[in-house]
Amino acid sequence: MALFDDQMAWPQPNSTPPPPRRRSISVGWVLLSVAAVLVLILGLTPSPYVIEQPGPAFNTLGFDRAVGSTAQGGQNGTDSKTHLISIPSQKTYPTSGSLDLLTVSLLGDPKNLPSWMEVVSAWFDPSKAVIPVDVAFPASSTAKQQQQENAVLMVDSQKDAIAAALNTLGTPFPQSVSVKQVLAHTPADGHVKVGDEIVSINGVKVAGIESLRAAVARNGADATAAVGIVRSGQSKTVEVAPVKSGSATVLGVGVGMDYAFPFDVKIQLENVGGPSAGMMFALGIIDTLTPGFLNGGARVAGTGTIDNEGNVGPIGGIRQKLYGAKDAGAKYFLAPASNCDEVVGHVPGGLQVFAVKKLSDSLKVLKTIASDGDTGKLPRCTT
């Protein structure tokens, strides 16, 4: 008895092939067309995001143009070179290598948003960051206002950098913590006035804003503080009871630094704002005013705010600046220790990153590099 009939679906050597599956091919073309339309939509539709990416690097020991730039430098499109840092009235010394400051550029703004395709591409690029447009451009201020604020921060950071450098070099000059604002209905209201110079807290000298904050924090909100001030040239002490504001202890004043520098330090850098170049400005000034090469002639980059006491503060866009440093050819990078949580796991290959808290830490790193010392013993960002 036969188990199978000859009409079963076993292929025969000379059997005719089945007709083409037109339905499957048609469905495939439809899906491909839909995908193409989606790609086109993603490529053209604006997203609610902007993209942070590495911006140009500038050598504080060089001229007022980006590292590697072939464009004309100088002002008004001329081809003249202007030193980024110049100190006309003082003896200066030759420098070598670089002390690069880094920038972050923004792709997009509220009126010209990047496409979804650009955003998706940026998500997979470790050198870029995608952020909501309303975070980059808060509704409380216009893009023009932000530019103006960043310009003011840049000017202030340059003054603080000059002060930090001169203090490090032991050059004396008048500097004071000045009251710029007294908040109504706060402990300082009625006791401290705009224009007062704060010189001490509980008899301890205040050398800068960070010293003032630390002294008020030590006093706490449970006791009255003796605030030493100079008003219209007269010294006096006023009693102020600090209060808690969030996690901070405050007097209720807004303060700023006033300086009277003994000579002019000119810093020429256009179209760059914010305070994050402060530390690199200070290092550039020190190198310019001292013999020898602070960096040993190496390419060094870095970032961080600075104050007159030499404290290095955190900045934004640290990951983009790491890649910007690598692109500029730097082998070493000075990063604020307070940014270490963003640095770990995001360091480009071939770049050594050191964690610094004060200007003196940065100088120690540079001394080690210049002397071919063991950089492995220097502080790094770790988990």
Which of 213, 101, 207, 92 lies closest to 154 in space, CA to CA? 101
Pair of tokens at residue 178: 């000045």
Pair of tokens at residue 46: 């604006």
**pLDDT tens figures, 229-241:** 999 999 999 999 9
CB 49 within 8 A of CB 131: yes
Q: Is pLDDT of 149 > 90? A: no
**pLDDT tens figures, 306-315:** 999 999 999 9
**pLDDT tens figures, 349-372:** 999 999 999 999 999 999 999 999
Per-residue pLDDT at 148? 87
| pLDDT mean over 315-336 | 97
Per-residue pLDDT at 178? 97
* All domains in the chain, ordered by first residue: 49-73+80-107+142-170+262-377 (3.30.230), 175-259 (2.30.42.10)
When the pLDDT of each residue in the chain is averaged and rounded to a whole number, the result is 89
Backbone angles phi, psi at 358, to 5 degrees: -135, 165
Distance CA 109, CA 132 (A): 10
| Least reliable range by pLDDT among 134-148, 154-168, 172-186 | 134-148
Pair of tokens at residue 218: 């030590």
Helices (H), the chain: 22-44, 116-123, 133-136, 143-169, 209-219, 278-289, 318-327, 340-343, 359-370
